[in-house]
Amino acid sequence: MLTADHFLRSGKVRDLYELPDGRMVLVASDRISAFDVVLPTEIPDKGRVLTGMSRFWFAETAGIVPNHLLDTDPAVIRDAFEAAVVDPREDAPAGPVGIGSFEELSGRVMICERAAVVPVEAVVRGYLAGSGWKEYRERGTVCGIALPPGLRESDRLPEPIFTPATKAEQGEHDENIDFDAMVEHIGRNDLFVPEIAGGVAEVVRDRAIALYRYAAAIAGRAGILLADTKFEFGYGLGADLDAERVGPAAEHIERRTRPLRGQRPADRNGQPLEDQLMLVDEALTPDSSRLWDAATYEPGGPQASFDKQFVRDWLETQPWDKTAPGPALPDDVAAGTRARYIEAFERITGASFDRYLAEDVIAR
């Protein structure tokens, strides 16, 4: 595996490393979280589903907003370390750097541009579910947005709505906030400062809604309803990128060398904020989205889904207070979750998951 001295941190699902040239490496594990708690049971190949779907969506949505993905080939990691090896003997060859087997990283790794991340979850809802449904029942609103009376659970909303949430530390719960609170929250961050917080928030909102509309149309053609999803955005900090290498050709991943290395978004005078924003982390996966089966959709209650709801539903039957540590999942729940994730991958991308496992390509 990637060595500990280049490890930066672990999230609920991903482990983050830094290459010698400044690029970031995101490795998606098979961990699963629910109610903001990482559960002790892993879901086999889940990390590969998340990475493959993110790769698909990053390529599909690059015309709406750029993203942080630079490459997906584990060999790039080896090359970056070998290029950084310095031997005091001029005639000494640069030996390989041990990063573990490519098989361990294949299909679950993304080499990405470093970014200053906007400190909110950019949630877009097209249907009434989850915490939105709970708030609506109590107050007739979702994140302070008034909705028409008489809506049922899982009803489609008249228009998609932007409902941001704070990014909680691991083990803590995200908090839904309204747009004004989002502006204040961004302005308290050292990277964004109050003077640009409003502009950042507006661009994030507009890009998130545009992404949702586009993705909902694509998922709909596969018979899947994108009920809601959350995005993360950032501003690229650049890296010493090798412009000659490209990612998998079939995915049309474009390399970008940004000249703004190390600058805060607040320091980039004269450059429109909308031109600097990029999509980061993951995109439109079963971890970050509610994905419903259109064939069985019937508003008025919960829906059959291809996401973590299967796990949440089982957890709701357990004597658990939704704090760490969470309970272990039984084998049938773990297997059922894996099957749902793979079905989402194959239906939305139109690709074979078995081929993705074997060849690290998104293709039939």
Q: What is the per-residue pLDDT across 45-62, written as a single tens digit (0 to 9) for each?
A: 999 999 999 999 999 999
pLDDT score at 196: 87
231 with 208: CB under 8 angstroms? yes
Residue 89 pLDDT > 70, yes or no?
Answer: no
Q: Are strands 120-127 and 224-236 parallel, antiparallel or unpaired?
A: antiparallel
Q: How many CB atoms lie within 10 A of CB 333?
A: 17
pLDDT score at 253: 35
Residue 246 pLDDT > 90, yes or no?
Answer: no
76 with 21: CB under 8 angstroms? no
pLDDT score at 260: 41
pLDDT band at 312; cut points 50, 70, 90: very high
pLDDT score at 252: 39
pLDDT score at 248: 41
pLDDT band at 350; cut points 50, 70, 90: very high
Please state at what angle helix 46-61 crosses helix 331-349, rounded to 10 degrees. 20
Q: What are phi and psi of 122, to 5 degrees?
A: -95, 90
pLDDT: is 75 or 82 the higher one? Answer: 75
Burial of 248 (0-12, 13-18, 19+ CB in 10 A): middle
Query: Read out DSSP for 204-220?
Result: HHHHHHHHHHHHHHHHH
Residue 37 pLDDT > 70, yes or no?
Answer: yes
Residue 269 pLDDT > 80, yes or no?
Answer: no
pLDDT score at 227: 98
pLDDT band at 172; cut points 50, 70, 90: low
User: Which of 100-104, 217-221, 302-306 comes out lowest in average pLDDT?
Assistant: 100-104
pLDDT: is 2 or 133 the higher one? Answer: 133
pLDDT score at 255: 34
46 with 32: CB under 8 angstroms? yes
pLDDT score at 295: 97
Q: What is the mean pLDDT of residues 297-313?
A: 94
pLDDT score at 173: 65
Query: In the beta sheet, which residues pair with residue 25?
Result: 17, 111
Nearest-5° Cα angle at 11, 7 to 12: 140
Of the ranges 13-22, 173-182, 267-276, 306-315, the best mean pLDDT one? 306-315
pTM reported for the whole predicted model: 0.86
- Percent of the chain residues past pLDDT 90, beyond the cut: 66
Q: How many CB atoms lie within 10 A of CB 267?
A: 11
pLDDT score at 79: 80
Q: Rounded distance, CA 188 to CA 206, Å?
A: 21
pLDDT score at 228: 98
Q: What is the per-residue pLDDT across 193-224, written as a single tens digit (0 to 9) for each?
A: 788 899 999 999 999 999 999 999 999 999 99
Question: Amino acid letter at 261?
Answer: R
Q: What is the mean pLDDT of residues 89-107?
A: 55
Residue 247 pLDDT > 90, yes or no?
Answer: no
